[in-house]
Homo-oligomer: A and B are copies of this chain.
């Protein structure tokens, strides 16, 4: 799915015009850093293909805060909006193909374009809900329940992510994840 298809599928089925901001295809190799800690985020990315992870430095340990999968937008959004150094790092987990949109270009479009604002609004609503959901998950769900949620929503995770990444996302050791997996299968 490319950006235009995404817009006609999720934002406005009647959209026929020109996309009102520049977007550039980029390819990242597996393990390549897309946005680093302390970098000021300047772009928003539409993930056409692949998986990225969002890492955070918590008590001198790198934890996985989130994963993004194909056909979604990602970036270090707080850094982008406030023009401050990023406290997260975004890394390609698999080879990734993205459409990069410079925030400068998007901001210009925000002045006059209905579709740019609809896209920005809807994607920000999604990020907001994601944040609320993840927060609630962390506060209330056991690792096993979190794993089941991830499995239900993104079965491709199991096929494409190594065990140590999933366990770092769940905040548990790989051996504990193995035990959870065995329990679920049996």
Contact = CB atoms under 8 A, between A and B. Distances in A.
Interface in A90-138: 110, 112-114, 117-118, 120-121, 124-125, 127-129, 131-132, 135-136
A81 B129 contact: yes
* Secondary structure call for the A interface: helix
Nearest to A120: B121
A77 interface: yes
A101 to B, nearest CB: 15
Contacts of A131: 128, 131-132, 135
A186 interface: no
A110 B121 CA distance: 10
Interface of A: 58, 77-78, 81-82, 87, 110, 112-114, 117-118, 120-121, 124-125, 127-129, 131-132, 135-136, 139
Given A78-B132, A117-B117, 12 more contacts: A58-B139, A77-B128, A78-B129, A81-B129, A87-B136, A117-B121, A120-B121, A121-B121, A124-B128, A127-B128, A128-B128, A135-B135
